[in-house]
Chains A and B, each alone.
Chain A
Amino acid sequence: MINVYVPRDTASISMGADDVAEEIAALSDDINVIRNGTWGMTYLEPLVEVETDTGRIAYGPVRASDVENLHEAGFLQGADHPLCHGPTTEIDYLKNQERLTFERCGLIDPLSIDDYKKNSGFVGLERALKLSQREIIDDVTTSGLRGRGGAAFPTGIKWNTVYEAEGDQKYICCNADEGDSGTFSDRILMESDPFCLIEGMTIAGIAVGATKGYIYLRSEYPLCKVVLNEAIRIAKAENYLGSDILGSGNVFDLEVRIGAGSYVCGEETAMLESLEGKRGMVRAKPPLPAHVGLFGKPTVINNVLSLASIPIILAKGGEYYKDFGIGRSRGTIAFQLTGNIKRGGLVEKAFGISLGDMINDYGQGTHSGKSIKAVQVGGPLGAYIPPEQFDMPLDYEAFSEAHAVLGHGGIVVFDETADMRAQAKFAFEFCAVESCGKCTPCRIGSTRGAEQIDAGNWKLTKELCDLMDSSSLCAMGGMTPIPVKSAMEHWPDEFKA
């Protein structure tokens, strides 16, 4: 049998991977088509791999109509072809990454628990089961891991707060409401390595004494729902979830809950309201969710990638993870190169690489071939950055100093045709559409802001930005001024008249 890998992730399917898989399977009875996850080299999707004596050979992007031609050229033997990129792990885009959280993505069949175990899966959990709760939390604190959702709060400190909180019931909530435009790293992880998230959440539950976990998944990710539910079913059957995990006496159960198209439900307290079946209205803090969280109980809320980084931290120790990165930004982060970019995809690197190296070396410039005008980093609430600032290192503090945010690692590239006034107006419009409506600066300010940009009243726009920044209840209203102000600062010519 010849093993041929055809990815089953949303991106490759959107480019026809299902048809490609069907065509390849029909070529011969000797072919075993494996639907792996994705390596994250989205510009090559669907990326088909053929297993040979010398490793997996990559071909892409493959359309269904290419299959016959590939077959004639001998791709089943790993033969050369214009679509051939040689051994997958030697492709420069992948080879130069530092894959910790995403080490298995693309490599394995996401729903094969044997594949997962063969590739260091559950090593972290097994070690955690030998440690005390305090020791697990200390290891996470040592690693320097900070929340990968965007707020970058130290994960170990959050866990410790929940561990020390009194409560007859505690919860682990995974925030999988990845709503930022220009991001898909959570989706890739969940579609390509769901057991990694399950393992991370189980370790979190054991560490803080929570017996129940929820994954709050956005409704725009239907394939994640299918993959996660199947993985949870398998994990339960294999005793990695349930009432006696691996015979240790630990209890942890997991459930996927689906959002309903609200961006602000990615804000942690709005997410809790939504999980409780209510309107996704932001809660005032304090009390912190760590004290009064889901259903009023102490709750850990972590992003998908924070939780998916836990297995390797526990497997290799906090010190190992901490060795990557710079300053107070430790470990790796998944950058996502998107928008008008030649080589879009996911790049996991240690903190510290420059924005320019990321865009030019990995991304290779724009898809349109025109020059770059701006990049928006960190989602719809992130700053627009001009090419003059591309030497900025990608780390939390450097971005903070430049009045920008790293957020969830999304990088959206715009070419010279971008209209920065329209982008600034869109920031307000998006806030108006997605505001939960609880606080006035966000609810009213967003609509008034869009009007002021139309009217060309820049003084009032700036004053409104300052007001929203200082008096909104959460980041939705509080950070909407960031893209607006950055566009006005760096492209002043577009904000005249």
Chain B
Amino acid sequence: MIDMDKAQHIVDQHSHLEGGLLECLHALQHAFGYVPRETVDIAAEGFNISRAEVHGVISYYHDFRTKPAGKCVVKICQAEACQAMGSRALTKHAEEKLGMSMGETNEDYSLEPLYCFGNCALSPNVEIDGKLHARVGQDDFDRLVNGGERS
């Protein structure tokens, strides 16, 4: 169950900010791990816009989730500088290792594409549970997703 008092409190904290809906949605996602359907109504009321508009914003941006993520969130950069250093092969390896396709979520993992961490002199880049790792080879990847450190 979603703690609606907590959600209401978050909306109240942001609804006075001019144009603050994105900040509010980030805060809701930070608190619940995703933006629960139930919170759309109170966000709409708080910002005095329609539920459709709130839904429109949530669905527009890549960052916002409408379902919980896997226990471990793996993001692999798919942009050009990482491609030049083998991110396509690394992505294929990750899909095989985790038994899932890019963009999928299961209970254990979310495997997500990302377009640039801004660390392009040290490609390829992978973020695991919010921590960025540079120059990730396939062996490094295996160690990192198993909770270990890179060599």
Residues of A within 8 A of B (CB): 10-11, 13-15, 42-43, 45, 178-184, 186-187, 219-222, 257-263, 274-280, 295, 336-341, 344-345, 367, 376, 380, 410, 412-415, 418, 422-423, 426, 430, 433-434
* Per-residue contact bits, chain B 68-98, to A (CB 8 Å; 1 contact, 0 not): 0000000001011111110010000000000
A280 & B83 in contact (Cβ 8 Å cutoff): no
What are the residues of chain B within 8 A of A219 when measuring CB–CB? 26, 63
Residue of A nearest to B82 (CB): A181
19 other A-B residue contacts (CB within 8 Å) besides A257-B22, A344-B122: A11-B122, A179-B115, A181-B77, A181-B115, A182-B120, A220-B114, A257-B19, A259-B22, A260-B63, A261-B63, A278-B21, A279-B56, A338-B123, A341-B121, A344-B120, A410-B81, A415-B84, A423-B80, A426-B83
What are the residues of chain A within 8 A of B23 when measuring CB–CB? 257-258, 277
Residue of A nearest to B121 (CB): A344
What are the residues of chain A within 8 A of B20 when measuring CB–CB? 277
What are the residues of chain A within 8 A of B116 when measuring CB–CB? 179-181, 183, 220
Instruction: Report the Cα distance A422→B78, complex, angstroms.
Output: 13
> Which 8 A/B pairs are nearest by Cβ-Cβ distance?
A344-B121, A277-B21, A181-B79, A260-B61, A339-B84, A261-B62, A338-B120, A42-B121
B134 & A14 in contact (Cβ 8 Å cutoff): yes
The CB with the most chain B CB atoms within 10 A, among A257, A280, A412, is that of: A412
What are the residues of chain B within 8 A of A277 when measuring CB–CB? 19-23, 47, 57
What are the residues of chain A within 8 A of B134 when measuring CB–CB? 11, 14-15
What are the residues of chain B within 8 A of A260 when measuring CB–CB? 22, 25-26, 61-64
B121 & A261 in contact (Cβ 8 Å cutoff): no
Does B119 touch A at the CB level, under 8 Å? yes
> In chain B, residues 102-143, which have Cβ atoms closer than 8 Å to a Cβ of chain A?
114-123, 125, 130, 132-135
Give the size of the chain B interface in residues (CB under 8 angstroms).
42
What are the residues of chain A within 8 A of B80 when measuring CB–CB? 181-182, 339, 376, 380, 412, 423, 426
Instruction: Report the Cα distance A376→B80, complex, angstroms.
Output: 8
What are the residues of chain B within 8 A of A423 when measuring CB–CB? 80, 83
Residues of B within 8 A of A (CB): 18-23, 25-26, 47, 53, 56-57, 60-64, 77, 79-85, 88, 114-123, 125, 130, 132-135
Could you list 23 A-B pairs, sorted by A, with CB under 8 Å? Answer: A10-B118, A11-B119, A11-B134, A14-B122, A15-B134, A181-B77, A181-B79, A181-B120, A183-B120, A222-B130, A258-B23, A260-B22, A260-B26, A261-B61, A261-B62, A261-B114, A280-B61, A338-B121, A339-B83, A412-B81, A412-B120, A423-B80, A430-B115
What are the residues of chain B within 8 A of A422 when measuring CB–CB? 88
Q: How far is the CB of B34 from chain A (nearest CB, A)?
A: 13
Residue of B nearest to A256 (CB): B23
What are the residues of chain A within 8 A of B53 when measuring CB–CB? 278
Instruction: Report the Cα distance A180→B19, complex, angstroms.
Output: 25
B125 & A14 in contact (Cβ 8 Å cutoff): yes
Residue of A nearest to B56 (CB): A279
* Contact flag A263-B115 (CB < 8 Å), given A11-B122, A182-B81, A295-B19: yes
Instruction: Report the Cα distance A396→B20, complex, angstroms.
Output: 37
A337 & B81 in contact (Cβ 8 Å cutoff): no
What are the residues of chain A within 8 A of B83 when measuring CB–CB? 339, 423, 426
What are the residues of chain B within 8 A of A181 when measuring CB–CB? 77, 79-82, 115-116, 120
What are the residues of chain B within 8 A of A410 when measuring CB–CB? 81, 120
Instruction: Report the Cα distance A183→B83, complex, angstroms.
Output: 14
